Amino acid sequence: MQSEEHLLVEEQLITVKDPESEKKDETVLTDVEVPAKPRCLDDEYEMVYHKPKTMVEVSMHYCPGCAHSQFHKLIMEAVDELGIQEQTIGVAPVGCAVFAYDYMNIDMSEAAHGRATATATGIKRLMPDKYVFTYQGDGDLAAIGTAETIHTINRGENIAIFFMNTAVYGMTSGQMAPTSLVGMKTTTSPIGRNVADYGYPIKVSELIAQLPGAFYVTRQAMHTPTAVRKAKKAILNAFKYQKLHKGTCFIEVIGNCPSNWKMTPVEANKFIDESMVKTFPLGDIKLPNSEDLKLLEQEK
Q: Is residue 270 part of a domain?
A: yes
Whether 31 and 74 share a structural domain:
no
Residue 29 has pLDDT above 70, yes or no: no
pLDDT tens digits, one per residue of 122-164: 999 999 999 999 999 998 999 999 999 999 999 999 999 999 9
Residue 300 has pLDDT above 50, yes or no: yes
> Cα dihedral sign for 79, 82, 83, 89?
negative
N- to C-terminal Cα distance for the chain?
36
Whether 34 and 94 share a structural domain:
no
Whether 20 and 85 share a structural domain:
no
Report the DSSP pairing between strands 283-286 and 160-165.
Answer: unpaired
Q: Are 63 and 29 a contacting pair, CB within 8 Å? A: no
Q: Is residue 134 part of a domain?
A: yes
The span from the CA of 43 to the CA of 26, in Å, is 43
Confidence of residue 2 (pLDDT cuts 50, 70, 90): very low
Q: Is residue 54 part of a domain?
A: no
Whether 112 and 155 share a structural domain:
yes
Q: Is residue 158 part of a domain?
A: yes
- pTM of the prediction? 0.83
Q: Tell me how many degrees the CA angle 300-249-294 measures, rounded to the nearest 5.
A: 30
DSSP E strand boundaries for 21-87:
29-33
Whether 185 and 227 share a structural domain:
yes
| Main-chain dihedrals φ then ψ at residue 96, nearest 5 degrees | -60, -35
Q: Is residue 275 part of a domain?
A: yes
**What's the structural domain count of the chain?**
2
Per-residue model confidence (pLDDT) at position 32:
57
Q: Is residue 208 part of a domain?
A: yes
Q: What is the CATH number of the domain that holds 110?
A: 3.40.50.970
Count CB neighbours of 84 within 10 A: 17
Whether 104 and 235 share a structural domain:
yes
Residue 15 has pLDDT above 70, yes or no: no
Cβ neighbourhood burial of 157 (10 Å; 0-12, 13-18, 19+): buried
Whether 102 and 24 share a structural domain:
no
Question: Domain limits at 268?
Answer: 68-299
Q: Is residue 52 part of a domain?
A: no
Whether 287 and 244 share a structural domain:
yes
DSSP E strand boundaries for 47-158:
88-92, 107-110, 131-137
Q: Is residue 53 part of a domain?
A: no
Whether 146 and 260 share a structural domain:
yes
Label each residue of 258-269 as H, E or C: HHHHCCCHHHHH
Confidence of residue 20 (pLDDT cuts 50, 70, 90): low
Q: Are 260 and 250 a contacting pair, CB within 8 Å? A: no
| Main-chain dihedrals φ then ψ at residue 236, nearest 5 degrees | -60, -45
Whether 270 and 187 share a structural domain:
yes
Whether 232 and 113 share a structural domain:
yes
Whether 27 and 164 share a structural domain:
no
The span from the CA of 137 to the CA of 162, in Å, is 9
Average pLDDT over residues 4-11: 44
**Radius of gyration of the chain from its Cα atoms, rounded to whole angstroms:** 24
Counting residues of the chain whose pLDDT is more than 70, the rounded percentage is 85
Per-residue model confidence (pLDDT) at position 68:
95
